[in-house]
Amino acid sequence: MKIKIKETAKKLKGYSLYRLAIVLNMPQQTIYSWANGRTQPSYENMDRLCEVLNCSIGDLLEAEPVQRKLFS
């Protein structure tokens, strides 16, 4: 699953990732790492994100396309 932190923060609150880091009182690097898919937030931090952005976890998650392998 991909987390749409940047898009959701901008759409719902007008926040940049920098502003989101300030509001969450977390290091910028952590927020950028989540947004770029290098790391995933803990369940507790997902709850904090949803609370700050006033959204559901479903709003933050984006299913990645499933690739099918074709057999000859």
pLDDT value of residue 66 = 57
Structure pTM? 0.81
**Domain at 2-62, CATH homologous superfamily:** lambda repressor-like DNA-binding domains (1.10.260.40)
* 3 or 11: which leads in pLDDT: 11
Q: In this predicted structure, what is the pLDDT of residue 70? A: 58
20 vs 67 pLDDT, higher one: 20
Kindly list the domain boundaries of the chain, sorted by start residue.
2-62
Residue 27 CB partners (closer than 8 Å, separation 6+): 21
Encode pLDDT of 8-63 as tens digits: 999 999 999 999 999 999 999 999 999 999 999 999 999 999 999 999 999 998 76
Phi, psi of 55, rounded to the nearest 5 degrees = -140, 175
| Crossing angle between the packed helical segments 5-13 and 43-53, to the nearest 10 degrees | 30
Tell me the residue length of the chain.
Answer: 72
